[in-house]
Amino acid sequence: MGPPRDRRPRCHHAARSPDRGRCPRRRGSGARRLDRGRSAGRSRALRTVDPGGEVVPVGLHQEMTMARPSGDFTTLARAYAQSRPGYSERVLEALIRFVSAERPVRAVADIGAGTGIFSRMLARHGLDVTAVEPNDAMRREGIATSAGVPIHWHSGRAERTGLPDRCFDWVTVASAFHWVELPAGLIEIHRILRPGGYLTVLWNPRDIDGHPLHERIEAVIEEIVPDLRRVSSGSRRHAADWESVLVSTGHFSDPILFEAPHEERMSRERYMTAWRSVCDIQEQAGPERFEEILRRIAEIVEAHEEIVVPYRTRAWTVRRCS
């Protein structure tokens, strides 16, 4: 028997939300909203929620730039599946509590699923997960890696998922929203969500600030490619203003941010494989400079049998306007 084929999910419609027809504004979740300031043109210092209870100041976010590399992971699928880290379980548990506070959440579309790292985490919480991934190599690797995990795999992209209207309670985009074409992606996600449903976009960057080893590696990258446009370097100064982006089309409202730190212990081999899977650096640096980056990183970690890598999962969530 061959590997499971991509499956188009059937839509099991739930009862319509009583909030249909307006942008709901829900409170009482135990988390704080992002403070958006009093005027549209005013810079704002955002505050975010750590699922452990601490309110963490994030500071002023940079204006998002829409210029970005193309993100072809075809040749990186195996390295990606073998080496990339997961996401904070604390953040995921807090998100599930939040999005299911008013009604049960079952059907989840994980868009830009890649090799299924976040899709598997969702499925292990008992959610009915449809993993949407446009890249054939990444999707095949995800199907193989997810054997035994109940996930429906589907070929599609954020701007054109091919999924039915209003069939999902929750849409997630893990470490992929920066590749999404806007506003088309937000319009499509609005289409497949049920009224009152949620969209979460999240990343798990390295939390390198204050960690000398990782700051040294970042300095090497900036030295070799000084004009690099980082998708996610792990430094707070590279955080885009996702709040403004998510509400920019009028299809979503009430942004909230959950974040928490976590660590991964990696062998030196896995750590270097993880660097080889970083698409944005490869595309911008070119083969020669990228190999120089890898050589310099290998020299820095040569004395380490195991590398403790600090990460911070950041998850922005908005609610669908009808």
Q: Which domains does the chain show, CATH number per domain?
A: 59-207+235-264+313-320 (3.40.50.150)
Average pLDDT of the chain to the nearest whole number? 79
Span 245-253, average pLDDT: 97
Q: Over 70: is that where the pLDDT of 74 sits?
A: no
Place 194 in a pLDDT band, splitting at 50, 70 and 90.
very high
Q: Over 80: is that where the pLDDT of 178 sits?
A: yes
Residue 294 DSSP class? H
Residue 69 has, within 13 A of its CA and on its CB side, a CA count of 18
Q: Over 70: is that where the pLDDT of 302 sits?
A: yes
Place 314 in a pLDDT band, splitting at 50, 70 and 90.
very high
Q: Over 80: is that where the pLDDT of 168 sits?
A: yes
Higher pLDDT, 81 or 167: 167
Q: Over 90: is that where the pLDDT of 126 sits?
A: yes
Residue 97 has, within 13 A of its CA and on its CB side, a CA count of 12
Q: Which residue has the tokens 């090799």?
A: 115
Q: Over 90: is that where the pLDDT of 247 sits?
A: yes
The pLDDT assigned to 22 comes to 47
Span 50-69, average pLDDT: 34
The pLDDT assigned to 249 comes to 96
Q: Which of 204, 81, 177 is nearest to 138 (CA)?
A: 81
The pLDDT assigned to 2 comes to 46
Query: Averaging pLDDT over each range in 5-9, 20-24, 152-156, which range is the top one?
Result: 152-156
Instruction: Give residue-wise pLDDT tens across range 206-226.
Output: 888 889 999 999 999 999 999
Higher pLDDT, 304 or 67: 304
Higher pLDDT, 55 or 141: 141
Contact 213, 186 (CB under 8 A): no
Q: Over 50: is that where the pLDDT of 60 sits?
A: no
Q: Which of 87, 85, 106 is nearest to 96 (CA)?
A: 106
The pLDDT assigned to 255 comes to 97
Span 276-294, average pLDDT: 88
The pLDDT assigned to 97 comes to 98
Place 270 in a pLDDT band, splitting at 50, 70 and 90.
confident
Span 82-93, average pLDDT: 85
What percent of the chain is modeled with pLDDT above 70?
A: 71
DSSP 149-192: S-EEEE--BTTB--PPTT-EEEEEEES-GGG--TTHHHHHHHHH
Place 258 in a pLDDT band, splitting at 50, 70 and 90.
very high
- Among the residue ranges 8-17, 25-34, 78-87, the one predicted with the least confidence is 25-34
Instruction: Give residue-wise pLDDT tens across range 34-56.
Output: 433 322 332 233 334 444 433 33
Torsion sign across C-alpha atoms 200, 58, 235, 264: negative
Q: Over 80: is that where the pLDDT of 277 sits?
A: no
Q: Which of 90, 73, 26, 23 is nearest to 256 (CA)?
A: 26
- Among the residue ranges 67-71, 108-112, 252-256, the one predicted with the least confidence is 67-71
Q: What is the C-alpha to C-alpha distance for residues 9 and 17, in angstroms, rounded to an integer? A: 21
